[in-house]
Structure 1
Amino acid sequence: MLVPVALLLLGALTAVVAPRLLARAEWPEREPVVALWMWQCVVAGVLLCCALSMTLSASAAWQAVRGRVFAPAPSDVVEAYALGASGPWAAATALALAAGAVWTGAMLTREIVRARARRRRRRAELLVRSPLLPGEEPGTDRLVVLEGERPDAWWLPGAAPQLVITTAALRRLKGRQLDAVLAHEQGHAQARHDWLLHCSGALAGGFPQVPVFAAFRDEMHRLVELAADDVASRRFGRLTIALALVELNEDRGVFGPCPTPHAQVPERVHRLLTPEPRLTAGRRLRLTAAGALVPVVPVLVAFMPGLSTLG
């Protein structure tokens, strides 16, 4: 039975080759939304390879699983997979992959619990710094202004998302720069970028030895900011959002020679001030279709013996 082995090899090949191809490509910065889609398809393809390999290995190892997975299939299809010819490795492979699936679920659950705890803590801190007035209800204000000497603005996700901005930022942002910052943060909220960050962080934290998951997390943090910058720039212009980024970050030393946690800000400003033309609609469509094929290939590999028999 070679299909589970082929699926594992395909998953490993995808995990090694796809990130390198995306790292060498020049188009992700020009089309961050397409790049986000491509990365999600790559990771989905890797996970799907593991899930299908686990299912077929378990079917080969245990008759009870085989009876459920292949219950509606004709006998010729079951014979095409040669499930009875598997060795003792089938059970070990299925158990190892099942353990990985359980661990992945645990990491996702942990990330969600931590994110909710951070959100509750930040909302509690927000109520302390900006208490509600008589008659106000929590979460009714989409814009909250805080007293602060450091210019800052951030989006607080949740059932009632809010944009929080300090008085120092209000003093520094000029013209439509505040509107551009608001549009940037709304771009995060509308695209649910927080879920992408949670999922990528859970995979990278749960499997630190797997480079594709670490690259997925790093690229998600970078690409979601580029995508939100594009949302704001389409409404208010690239120069406006670039100047807003400078005003909010110049006191943090991000534009100096030493790297900081906000080292990507200068790159974002440079990208906004020296824009490259977008890809053509046809090329964007081709890249989107190519990304969608990544998780489709494992499904075709898994169903190929059965489809060949039926054909």
Structure 2
Amino acid sequence: MTVSLALLLLGALAAVAAPRLMSRADWRDREPVVALWVWQCVVAAVLLCFALSMTFSAAAAWQAVRGQVFASAPHGVMEAYALAAYGPWSAVIAVLLACGGAWTAAMLAREIRRAHVGRRQRRAELLVRSPLLPGEEPGSDRLVVLEGERPDAWWLPGAAPQLVITTAALRRLKGRQLDAVLAHEQGHARAKHDWLLHCASALAIGFPQIPVFAAFRDEMHRLVELAADDVASRRFGRLTIALALVELNEDRGVFGPCATQDGELPRRVHRLLSAAPRLTAGRRLRLTAAASFVPVVPLLVAFVPGLRALG
């Protein structure tokens, strides 16, 4: 079996099997940060499989590409890959994977542009609702208080990130609950969760038929909230952030018997109140190390023939 085909099959297998394996992991909600890292490593491995498969297929199909790929390789390495035996399908695979790569880049660019336009619109609306005072500059305040009947708080990312909170939220939240909500939103900002969500959304929109990308997007939206909850709970306690979530959302119908929106909120509150113990430091380290090795597997598949030739 050629290296290109092996990488293609490995990427397809990971794309199908990874969501099923991750759905069976009972530690995801207990360690959302570790789960975020595992998902990123899995998706990186899938993309790396396809990129390497495209490279070897292109090298087999076209002499010009072959010369660039193996330009600095020692004598005998190129022969170890038996590129001449790939057959006529190599050009087809290379073109299809190249189109997939270009489509991925286009979807990511579109998502970034959409996010930029959305942020600019939200900032314009923010200036209308909270106009600048004489001498103030746009983005100079990291905390903006808005008049509003609905209790809410959110982080507005960008070059000058701002935390926005409504007066209804200030009236509703008591003492440390307000500090916990601010810590939750700051946790999103420090971890750059917005970039992670944009990448996950771009892949899922661009390739809706690939299970791993759809699962990646859904899990990112859930896990970043759990991770931010943990940031706040470590500083102010699980009960405090749980009560703050209830205070902010109890008027939206998400905690009733017939809740119709944001069904994750009751689960987040239950998770905070149940206080399931964290994994041991040793197990967290093993999971992190195992996930870090996942993207290395395609590299090993790609370089084993060359290393054997050198040996």
CA distance in 2, matches of 1:264, 1:236: 21
Aligned: 1:87 with 2:90: no
Aligned residues: 311
1:167 partner letter? T
Q: State the SS of the aligned residue for 1:163.
A: strand
Q: CA deviation at 1:238?
A: 0.4
The residue that corresponds to 2:205 in the other structure is 205
The residue that corresponds to 1:236 in the other structure is 236
How big is the alpha-carbon RMSD for the aligned residues of Structure 1 and Structure 2?
0.8
The residue that corresponds to 1:120 in the other structure is 120
Q: State the SS of the aligned residue for 2:294.
A: helix
The residue that corresponds to 2:47 in the other structure is 47
Q: CA deviation at 1:241?
A: 0.3
Pick which of 286-295 and 100-109 moved more.
286-295
The residue that corresponds to 1:159 in the other structure is 159
CA distance in 2, matches of 1:297, 1:260: 43
Q: State the SS of the aligned residue for 2:215.
A: helix
Deviations 1:180-233 (A, max 9, x none): 000000000000000010000000000111111000000000000000000000
CA distance in 2, matches of 1:129, 1:260: 29
Q: CA deviation at 1:75?
A: 2.9
| Contact kept? 2:16, 2:210, Cα under 8 Å | no
Query: Structure 1: which 5+ runs fail to align?
Result: none
In the TM superposition, 1:98-137 aligns within 5 A as: 98-137=98-137
Q: State the SS of the aligned residue for 2:278.
A: coil
The residue that corresponds to 1:195 in the other structure is 195
2:229 partner letter? D
TM-score, structure 1 length as denominator? 0.99
Query: Structure 2: which 5+ runs fail to align?
Result: none
Q: CA deviation at 1:292?
A: 0.7
Q: CA deviation at 1:84?
A: 1.3
CA distance in 1, matches of 2:275, 2:307: 48
Q: State the SS of the aligned residue for 1:75.
A: coil
In the TM superposition, 1:54-69 aligns within 5 A as: 54-69=54-69
CA distance in 1, matches of 2:210, 2:16: 10
In the TM superposition, 1:1-311 aligns within 5 A as: 2-311=2-311
Pick which of 220-229 and 65-74 moved more.
65-74
TM-score, structure 2 length as denominator? 0.99
Q: CA deviation at 1:261?
A: 3.2
CA distance in 2, matches of 1:128, 1:237: 36
Deviations 1:227-254 (A, max 9, x none): 0000000000000000000000000000
Q: State the SS of the aligned residue for 1:165.
A: strand
Pick which of 19-28 and 255-264 moved more.
255-264
CA distance in 1, matches of 2:209, 2:258: 29
